[in-house]
Each structure stands twice: as structure tokens, then as C-alpha cells.
Amino acid sequence: MIVKEIPAHPFGGVYAATICPMTDKGQIQDDNLASHLSKVVNTEGIAGLLVNGHAGENYALDRAELASVVRAARTVSGDRKVVAGINAERADVAAAMAEDAAKAGAHAVMVFPPFSWALGADDRVVLAHHRVVAEASGLPLFLFQGSVNSGKTAYQPDVLARLLEIDSVVGIKEGSWETSAYEATRRLTKRLRPDVGVMASGDEHLFPCFAIGSEGSLVSLAAIVPEMIVALERAVAAGDMAAGRDMHERLYQLARIVYGSPGHLATLRLKTCLVLLGHQPNAVSRSSISQLSGEEVSLLRQALEVAGVLERKAA
């Protein structure tokens, strides 16, 4: 068997993009949060956590809540790293959040493009927003490359090249959701900044992205089935494509259902999976939709059964 060397990277490996458990009234449930973070980060092979990402409802939490999640993650993470997501429309607010994250113990911050950028944003605004966050936190910085269909949150090559001029950039959560775009981002990055890690993020095509090349992954399915994501990455790294394809087949249906249309229900679907697996007591989020339909829950159950992490119900 040919073993492919994985380039050493300070933030390499699989990071789970975690959820934020809520009480029935929509407040952060501290004990369930600690339990969730601890269970995931202590999975053998997990390199760290991405907290306050889209799956963690960063858009719905206030500054104090965001900082409290980072502190909770640092409490249980031990020597594993914590990356804190930063998502705000205003650069000054994003900077304050980044400073909060640094004080709370984050090892790095990730700048999520404000949702309004999907409708259009001046390239100078994109660059200035990232520079302000970088200066405020003083921490290594992750970029987030948006889906090919998401307007200005998907950075064009010239914009990405200028973002890579920021000295503190250490990695990219590559969410193009298309393998050809993933490869283009990776090739550009490795040409301009070979020290920057390009991390696979599109859940249903982790396998081809790992095969193209990746320093790891920052991905929310790792908050549901962390062992499987670690196994997939290791199989591809070891050149065992048969094992990688097998894991891909087990994960594909689950990823497609969780991230299918409408995409804004992904967090609720992730939380519902955790309920079905017995890891969380409820699937409450701050979405205006409080629960999935019976049909949607049934589809998730079937996908978890196909993945082999939930026992099939007797007919």
C-alpha cells in the first residue's frame, strides 16, 4: 500500500463544526453544550473544534453568547485547537467579536462572509473587513470560501489572492461545494501561499476533495459522526481508495439530506440527527421553524441507518 505524506500544518486534521444546544425556550443549554463539545473533541483523531460556525448559529448569538461558547470549548479541548467563527455585517462588530474570541482562549478565528455580500460587495470592503478582524484578534486567521452559487461570498481569484496577502492567514475552509472550484482554490493558494492549509468542507464530496489534496477538514458532519470523517480522511491519506469509497457511500445520503434544499434548515437537521442518536434531548434552534416534519425526520433516520450509526427499526 502506498502511503501519501500529509504536509505538516499547524492547523491540519479534522475539525468538527459543532452545534449549539438550546433549552426549550431557545437559550444556550450549558451542560448539553459542554457534553457535546467534549464528546466530539475527545474522539480519537479529531484535531479540534470549529465553534460559532453556521452550524453553531453564529448569526443568531450575541457577543456574550459567542464568547461563552469559545470558553466552553477551551474548557474541554485540552491540547486540541479551537477555531472561533466570526460572522457580522459590520466590520467593527466583527472586530469586537474577534477580540472577544481571543480573550476567551481561541487558537484562531475564521471570518465568515456577511450574508449581505451574496447580493454584492465591493472588493475593497471584503479586504478591509478581513484586515480589521485580523488586527483585532491577533490570532491566526481562516478564510471561508463560499459556494460557487453564493455571489460575492465566493471569492474570485483576484480577491482571494489579495486576501492571501494578509500575513496571519493560516487556512481556508473551502466551501465551494464543487470539486473543480475546490481544486482551483487549492492550486491558486498553493502557488501564492504554500503555507496556507486548504481544508475540505463540502460534506458530500469530502472524498474527492481529500483525493485532490487537503490539509484536513472543518466540517459539521464531524459533529454527528466524527469517527467516520476521521476514518475517511485516514483512508485517503493512506492510499486506501476502496476504504475511502466505502466510507463515502455510507456518508453520502446523510450529507445530501442534511445540506439539501432549503439550506437554512441544515442546523435543525444536524440537531435532529443528534436527538435520533441519543446525544441531545431536543433539536431546538433559534430558527423560526421549531421542528422538522415527520417525513423529514424519517429521511434523516434512514440516512443514519445507511451510515451504520443507527440500528434499523424492525419492520
- The CATH number that applies at residue 86 is 3.20.20.70
pLDDT of residue 312: 75
Q: Specify if 138 maps to a domain.
A: yes
Number of C-beta neighbours around residue 142 at 10 A:
27
Q: Is the pLDDT of residue 214 over 50?
A: yes
On average, the pLDDT of the chain sits at 94
How many Å apart are CA 214 and CA 202, to the nearest integer? Answer: 12
Interval 68-106: pLDDT, tens: 999 999 999 999 999 999 999 999 999 999 999 999 999
pLDDT of residue 314: 56
Torsion angle of the four alpha carbons 257, 56, 219, 86, in this order, in degrees rounded to the nearest 10: 130
Span 22-45, average pLDDT: 97
pLDDT of residue 268: 96
Count of domains for the chain: 1
Q: Specify if 25 maps to a domain.
A: yes
Least confident of 87-101, 143-157, 182-196: 143-157
Q: Which helix (H) or strand (E) holds 77?
A: helix 63-77
Q: Is the pLDDT of residue 302 over 70?
A: yes
Instruction: Using pLDDT thresholds of 50, 70 and 90, give the confidence band for residue 191.
Output: very high
Name the residue range of residue 180's domain: 13-240
Task: Return the percentage of the chain with pLDDT > 70, whole number.
Answer: 97
Instruction: Using pLDDT thresholds of 50, 70 and 90, give the confidence band for residue 7.
Output: very low
How many Å apart are CA 276 and CA 48, to the nearest integer? Answer: 24
Q: Specify if 29 maps to a domain.
A: yes
Least confident of 142-146, 214-218, 260-264, 299-303: 260-264
Q: Specify if 299 maps to a domain.
A: no
Q: Specify if 288 maps to a domain.
A: no
Q: Specify if 141 maps to a domain.
A: yes
Q: Specify if 102 maps to a domain.
A: yes
How many Å apart are CA 160 and CA 123, to the nearest integer? Answer: 10
Task: Return the percentage of the chain with pLDDT > 90, whole number.
Answer: 87
Q: Specify if 260 maps to a domain.
A: no
Q: Is the pLDDT of residue 9 over 60?
A: yes
Radius of gyration of the chain (CA): 18
pLDDT of residue 240: 97
Interval 268-293: pLDDT, tens: 999 999 999 999 999 999 988 888 99
pTM over 0.85: yes
pLDDT of residue 239: 96
